Structures are given as structure tokens and as C-alpha cells.
Amino acid sequence: MNIAESITIALDAVRAHKLRSILTLLSIAIGIFAIIGSGTAVGSLNNTMSGQLAALGENNFYITRTPMIQTHDSWRKYRKRKPITYYQAKELQKQLTITEIISIFNDTGGMTMKAGTLSTDPDVNLIGCNEHYMITSNLNIEEGRPFSMEDISMSRFEAIIGNDVAVKLFPSTNPIGQTIRVKNQQYTIIGTVVPRGSMMGQSQDNFVLLPLGNFMRYYADEWEQSVNIIIRPPGKDALNASIDEAIGILRSVRNCKPWEENSFEIQTNESLTQQFSSFTESLNIFGLGSGLIALLAAGVGIMNIMLVSVKERTREIGIRKAVGAKKSWILLQFVVEAVTLCQLGGLIGIFLGFVGGWALSSSIGITAAVPLDWMFFSVGVCTLLGVFFGGYPAWKAANLDPIEALRYE
């Protein structure tokens, strides 16, 4: 039995019956495309998320009122939590001894910035922060200077702007020293931030930083809206100790009873990455489910093609048996042909999946990832598909009576 000959026969069958073969191969390609495409998208998102968190600092941990990534029903549990107030955050900053890099911030979106006769669209993110925010958020000054401790403690009317705001309001002048209006307050620009581009289709440069005191006074209710905290320990060895100390201080400041659970969330980069991975897993499951359904339909098509092929080559099978071909040879021949058809469709699907995943990743500004595990899985699925759905036609061919087969016209 010559396997190479069986593969050649299968490819000849594809050329001889183009329409029938194309429809079947298209079904297989669509199924594999769904599997590879979803795997590429999920891998790209997970890699981007991990890269972004690593860039912010591997040792950072975050204190928020509610989890950053929530399930559909979890808001019912967390909506009753009291806000983490500005006062509580400052008490934590004052009492924490293991590290001095503690970022406190709050933000609101949909703001309009004005300078002279120019104004931005109402989509600017306004962020109130302390002097450590730029360090923990991996922001770098392009021109000017960052906030000093005095700027924050004295709530000076100063601002640092992102590149989108600078281009919109000061297209032909240096923004340093200029003023912008945020609602009824004016702020002097002391710095601009190095552009970071977009991620997932959203600009990372469309923001304005203000001293946190001004933000809480004019743009947020200090006692109703919660602040967020980022803490960077001096090293990875100090991470757990810093978390324990922060929990103890904040529980005391927020009057948590010993038997009560924390009324705030502590999240590390590792835990956020795991949460995001579990969140994107649903996309993988959807792609896998859709792909397997398409492959099931394609398998029926493969069986039909092979049954027709057996019928068309009945006389050929009779001749082979008459000259001594064994049942196992004929069985293997038709199974190999079915697997070859499936693998051909699978290769097309893998190619389209990579192209589709790369196009999607490029369109939303993330780095594409090649899911080698899903590629090998797809090859295995195509092999099983050919064996399973090509098995019955192959068995039927192998059990043809040679005399009846030779009489077939």
C-alpha cells in the first residue's frame, strides 16, 4: 500500500470535482478558522495585558473599592461597600512604613478641556493624583516637569497633559506655561507626557492630570466617590509584607470588625492577569464550540465525498482485489484520502485564522500571538475528523465483493 499514491489520488479527486470539494474544504476551513482565530485573539489579549501590567511594575499592588475585573452578577455584592475616601488613603500613606511610593488617584471621563478659543471633544479623562502617580503608571515627562510634593500638598492650580490634548489645544505653540480651563477653573500647564499610542482601539494619551486635592474639591465628592491606591514595595521580597501592613492599616482606618471580611480589594499584577485570562477564556470556548459545530457539518460532507468516490471507483476496487489487494490496504487507502482532504481544509483554516487574528490584533493596537498549541490541536482534530468520517466509506470499499465490483458499470 503506497500512502503517497493515496494522497495523490485524494488531490486528484479535489481537482476533478472542484465545486463539491471546495464546499467541503470551506466547511473545514471555517471550523479551523474559528478555533485558530479565537486562540490568536485570546493569546494576543493575554500577552498585551501581561505586558501592560509588567510595564507598570511587577511588584505593584492595587487597593480599590471593588475588583477591577468583575463578573456579571458580582456588582450586587460590592455596591454596598463604602467608598475609600481621600482621608483614608492619606492615613494609609502616612502610616505605611515599608514603602514610600504610594499613588492615590481618582478619575472621571467625558470631560471637555478649553484653551483660548479651542476646545477638545468631551472625551478627555481627567485624573486627580498625587506626586507618585506617574511613577506607578509608567508615565514619563516629555517637556516640563512632574508634580512635586508641594504641588500636591498645596493643591496648586497646575496640570500635566497627554499628547492628544496638547495637539488639540496647542497645535502650533509650546503648551508649557499656557493655561487650560476645566469647567470653571484654570490651570497652568507644567508638563506634557511622552505619547504611548493606543491600545485596543483606545488612545492612552487623551488625559489631563491635576493635583488630587483640586480634583476632589471641584470634580468629585470626597465623601461619596472612592479613590484608588497603587503601592510599589521596594522589591518583590517585600510584596507580601507590604500587602499585610496595608490591609491592617486600612481595616483599622475603615473600622472593619475582626470577624468581617475586607471592605476593599487587594489585587496584584499576577491576580489581575489570572482574572483577565479567565475572563477571555469564554472567547476561547465560544470559538472552540463554533469551530467544532462547523467541523461536524464538514465531516458529513467528507463522508459524502468519500461515498461518492467509492461508488465511482467500484470497478477499480474490484480490479485491486482481483490482483491480491488486502482489505486493510483498501481500508487504509480511503482513510488516508479522507484525512488528506481534512488536512487540506485545515491548512487553509489555519492560514485564514492567523491572518484574521493578526488583522484583528493590528486594528485594536495589540501584538499578535501565534497559538502553536491551538495549531497542533487543529491538526489533530482534522486527522480524527478524517479517520472518523472516512472510516465508514473506507470500510464499505474494503468489503466490496470483487466479482460484483468487476461487474459494476
Q: Is residue 58 one of the residues assigned to a domain? A: no
Distances (CA, A) of 145 to 61, 98, 196: 26, 27, 18
Q: 292 and 369: one domain?
A: yes
Q: Looking at residue 60, what is its pLDDT?
A: 82
Q: 122 and 208: one domain?
A: yes
User: Do 236 and 101 contact (CB within 8 A), yes or no?
Assistant: no
Type and span of the H or E element at 353: helix 327-363
How confident is residue 223, by pLDDT bands cut at 50, 70 and 90? very low
Q: Is residue 403 one of the residues assigned to a domain? A: yes
Q: Give 409's DSSP letter.
A: -
User: Do 384 and 299 contact (CB within 8 A), yes or no?
Assistant: no
Count of C-beta atoms within a 10 Å radius of residue 319? 14
Mean pLDDT computed over 127-140: 90
Q: Is the pLDDT of residue 1 over 60?
A: no
Residue-wise pLDDT tens digits, 174-213: 999 999 999 889 999 999 999 987 776 678 889 999 999 9
Q: 285 and 364: one domain?
A: yes
Q: Is residue 269 one of the residues assigned to a domain? A: no
Could you tell me which of 340, 343, 385, 302 has the C-alpha nearest to residue 21? Answer: 302
Residue-wise pLDDT tens digits, 230-265: 888 887 788 888 888 888 888 888 888 888 888 888
User: Do 232 and 223 contact (CB within 8 A), yes or no?
Assistant: no
User: Which residues form the domain of 193?
Assistant: 105-232
Q: Is the pLDDT of residue 127 over 90?
A: yes
Residue-wise pLDDT tens digits, 327-359: 777 777 778 777 887 888 888 888 888 787 777
| Separation CA 6–CA 24 (nearest Å) | 19
| Separation CA 313–CA 5 (nearest Å) | 15
Give, in degrees to the nearest 5, the angle at Cα 75 between 69 and 77.
115
User: Environment class of residue 331 by beta-carbon count within 10 Å: exposed (0-12), middle (13-18) or buried (19+)?
Assistant: buried
Mean pLDDT computed over 45-50: 69
Q: Are strands 185-193 and 179-182 parallel, antiparallel or unpaired?
A: antiparallel
Residue-wise pLDDT tens digits, 378-387: 888 888 888 8
| Separation CA 313–CA 17 (nearest Å) | 14
Residue-wise pLDDT tens digits, 55-77: 556 678 888 888 766 665 666 67
**Better-scored residue on pLDDT, 42 or 111:** 111
Could you tell me which of 211, 212, 210 has the C-alpha nearest to residue 89? Answer: 212
Mean pLDDT computed over 303-313: 76
Could you tell me which of 30, 210, 226 has the C-alpha nearest to residue 133? Answer: 210
Q: 35 and 125: one domain?
A: no
Report the SS3 class of residue 57: coil
Q: Looking at residue 28, what is its pLDDT?
A: 81
The last residue of one of the domains, among 213, 232, 251, is 232
Number of domains the chain is built from: 2
Distances (CA, A) of 309 to 50, 270, 330: 51, 55, 13
Q: 397 and 298: one domain?
A: yes
For 119, the grid coordinates are 476646545
Q: Is the pLDDT of residue 286 over 80?
A: no
Q: Is residue 337 one of the residues assigned to a domain? A: yes
Q: Is residue 8 one of the residues assigned to a domain? A: yes
% of the chain beyond a pLDDT of 90: 19
**Better-scored residue on pLDDT, 280 or 103:** 103
Q: 366 and 289: one domain?
A: yes
Q: Is residue 93 one of the residues assigned to a domain? A: no
Mean pLDDT computed over 203-229: 84
Q: Which range among 45-59, 171-185, 361-375 shows the weakest confidence by mean pLDDT?
A: 45-59
On average, the pLDDT of the chain sits at 80
Q: Looking at residue 403, what is its pLDDT?
A: 66
**Residue 259, phi then psi, degrees to nearest 5:** -90, -5
Q: Is residue 386 one of the residues assigned to a domain? A: yes
Q: Is residue 372 one of the residues assigned to a domain? A: yes
